[in-house]
Amino acid sequence: MPAKVNKEECTGCGTCVEECPVEAIVIDEDEGCAAVDEEECVECGACEEVCPIEAIEVE
């Protein structure tokens, strides 16, 4: 299952964007938080590991 971002917790710091090996994450400027392209996500968990506030989950 692709990475899921808890939009209420995400601060939009961009750490996950930098870590994603397939560039499947961007910062949604309207919402001010990370957004995952579910079709591009390879479920590697890199974003989940680096999120400083644990706002991303990969099941």
Given this model, what pLDDT does residue 36 score?
98
Residue-wise pLDDT tens digits, 7-47? 999 999 999 999 999 999 999 999 999 999 999 999 999 99
Given this model, what pLDDT does residue 43 score?
97
Instruction: Give the DSSP H/E element, type plus range, for residue 20.
Output: none
Name the domain count of the chain: 1
Q: Is 8 exposed, middle or buried (0-12, 13-18, 19+ CB in 10 A)?
A: exposed
CATH number at residue 26: 3.30.70.20
Cα–Cα distance for residue pair 38/43, rounded to 1 Å: 9
CB 50 within 8 A of CB 10: no
Identity of the residue numbered 5: V
Given this model, what pLDDT does residue 2 score?
96
Host domain of residue 23: 4-57
Given this model, what pLDDT does residue 15 score?
98
CB 58 within 8 A of CB 1: yes
